[in-house]
Amino acid sequence: MVNVATDERVRALVEGAMDPVVVLDSERRLVAASGAAAEVLGDTTPGRRLTEEHLGSEPSVLVLFLESLPELSAYQELRAGFTAAVSHELRTPLARLLILLESAGLPGADVDDLVEQARQEVVQVRELIDDVLFLGELETGREVVSLGRTLALPVVEEVVGSLAGRAERAQVELVVRADPETELPLRPRMLRVVLENLVTNSIRYAGPGRTCTITVTDEGSGPVLGVVDDGKGVSATDVSRLFERFYRADQARSSRGTGLGLAIVKHIVTSAGGTVEAASAPGEGVEIRALFPPE
């Protein structure tokens, strides 16, 4: 529960905002709202509980969730660290791109090959920017994660079909073992994002000749989405940090991943009331499970 001093500080920051902004606590009770939000929502009495269905019908409203407000210095440090990490991740492909373009002007250069490599670097930058923006939308509440329930199997089959070519090139077999009746508490788009990130992660790192299995089951305590491969695996130290932004295990440092995929997965799953866990050991593959509460 947020204390009174924090409530007052948040209200002072939000009430003067020109855009429709609301701040909710961990139990979805209204902490503060801007004047523009009051015009859209009507009743913005502090303590009023706002449901996802209500907010989902008002896409213009920016929703911020507040469990506790860190000290300003800690917040600034966190923001500075994230900004530095993004800057570093952008510099690497941009530096490679500059080298490739300069190399294209050298005598005897294979221009076609260099242009293709440069194109891949541009794609890498675009993917990173897209992931950073998407994660920002999730964290500020612009994306409603859980709005109804989605039958999982059709989305699983759609994602597997879209990634089949990439899996074939990486020599990774994709196997689906999903209960056709199980629903997950995610919008179709959010489920698609989770699956794409988890399956792509396995395709990228499992190694040739490996298998990635996607499972959807309901174990009584709630539905479970799992993605497991029998690839190289990672160390115990790496397992504990897999969901950190920009963290990459040693074997993944030279990959073209953005380092944000699993962080996005964790944010989506936890926003839907679930938990995500990973298990692995060197040479024993990686298993990631998203566990959701029962309906």
In a domain, 82, yes or no: yes
pLDDT at residue 9, rounded to an integer: 64
In a domain, 245, yes or no: yes
CATH number for the domain including 232?
3.30.565.10
Task: Tell me the Cα Rg of the chain.
Answer: 22
pLDDT at residue 146, rounded to an integer: 57
pLDDT at residue 112, rounded to an integer: 87
CATH number for the domain including 90?
1.10.287.130
Q: Max Cα separation, the chain?
A: 71
Residues 190 and 227 in one domain: yes
278 forms beta bridges with: 288
Domain limit, last residue, from 12, 33, 65: 65
Residues 219 and 90 in one domain: no
Residues 162 and 244 in one domain: yes
pLDDT at residue 246, rounded to an integer: 59
Domain limit, last residue, from 140, 162, 191: 140
In a domain, 235, yes or no: yes
Instruction: Kindly list the averaged pLDDT for each block of 10 residues, start to end, along the chain of length 295.
Output: 53 66 74 77 77 61 59 47 55 75 83 82 70 62 63 93 92 94 86 90 90 90 92 81 65 52 84 88 89 86
| Number of domains composing the chain | 3
Tokens 């213009």 sit on residue: 60
Residues 240 and 270 in one domain: yes
H/E element, 157: helix 152-169
Residues 191 and 92 in one domain: no
Residues 158 and 283 in one domain: yes
CATH number for the domain including 37?
3.30.450.20
In a domain, 256, yes or no: yes
Residues 40 and 76 in one domain: no
For residue 68, the 8-state DSSP code is: -
The range of the structural domain enclosing residue 12 comes to 4-65
H/E element, 176: strand 172-178
pLDDT at residue 38, rounded to an integer: 76
Residues 162 and 275 in one domain: yes
pLDDT at residue 16, rounded to an integer: 60
Q: How far apart are CA 43 and CA 208, in angstroms?
A: 58
| Helix, strand, coil tally for the chain in percent (to 5) | 45, 20, 35
Residues 238 and 214 in one domain: yes
Residue 181, CA distances (Å) to 151, 223, 244 in order? 7, 11, 33
In a domain, 258, yes or no: yes
pLDDT at residue 84, rounded to an integer: 52
Residues 285 and 160 in one domain: yes
pLDDT at residue 87, rounded to an integer: 59
Q: How far apart are CA 216 and CA 177, in angstroms?
A: 7
Q: How far apart are CA 177 and CA 171, in angstroms?
A: 20
Residues 95 and 170 in one domain: no
Residues 12 and 95 in one domain: no
In a domain, 145, yes or no: no
Contact 35, 15 (CB under 8 A): yes
